[in-house]
Amino acid sequence: ETGVTQSPTHLIKTRGQQVTLRCSSQSGHNTVSWYQQALGQGPQFIFQYYREEENGRGNFPPRFSGLQFPNYSSELNVNALELDDSALYLCASSVDPGQGGGELFFGEGSRLTVL
């Protein structure tokens, strides 16, 4: 158990809908990163939030957006869902930005299926 919790664990949406995924970071962590993991692939970096501001973004379109709240929890929003958005969405928290390895703690993920 890493202390990073994500909700919901599974959800099904249809093409064109919008989805919000939630993440509670580990206690004491002020940085949250989101990753998309398609089936059979490695996770891909979406963006990172640090002190409620976006702090780095991967190659994802603007319909992927996020928020970080004062308690450092975070949301990932995806608008106009496409079939290719079906994936496991992982949240990872750390004490500071730019950290990886043993300093980055992943949640169990939210499995999104778009029909």
Partner 1 sequence: GESVGLHLPTLSVQEGDNSIINCAYSNSASDYFIWYKQESGKGPQFIIDIRSNMDKRQGQRVTVLLNKTVKHLSLQIAATQPGDSAVYFCAENIRGYSTLTFGKGTMLLVSP
Both tokens of 25, joined, read: 């970071």
Query: Candidates 13-21, 55-63, 69-77, 78-86 — which segment interacts with partner 1 by CB under 8 A?
Result: 55-63
Question: To which residue do tokens 């640090």 refer?
Answer: 50
Residue 56 interacts with partner 1 (CB under 8 A)? yes
Both tokens of 60, joined, read: 């994802």
Distance CA 73, CA 84 (A): 26
Residue 100 interacts with partner 1 (CB under 8 A)? yes
Residue 24 interacts with partner 1 (CB under 8 A)? no
Q: Could you tell me the smallest distance in angstroms from the CB atom of residue 110 to partner 1?
A: 11
Radius of gyration of the chain (CA): 13
User: At residue 3, what are phi and psi to the nearest 5 degrees?
Assistant: 90, -5
Q: Could you tell me the smallest distance in angstroms from the CB atom of residue 98 to partner 1?
A: 4
> Nearest CA to 97 among 44, 54, 35?
54
Residue 40 interacts with partner 1 (CB under 8 A)? yes
Q: Are strands 87-94 and 5-7 parallel, antiparallel or unpaired?
A: unpaired
Q: Which is nearer to partner 1, 95 or 106 (CB)?
A: 106
- Which residues contribute to the site for partner 1 (CB under 8 A)? 2, 4, 33, 35, 40-45, 48, 55-56, 58, 90, 92, 97-98, 100-102, 104, 106-109
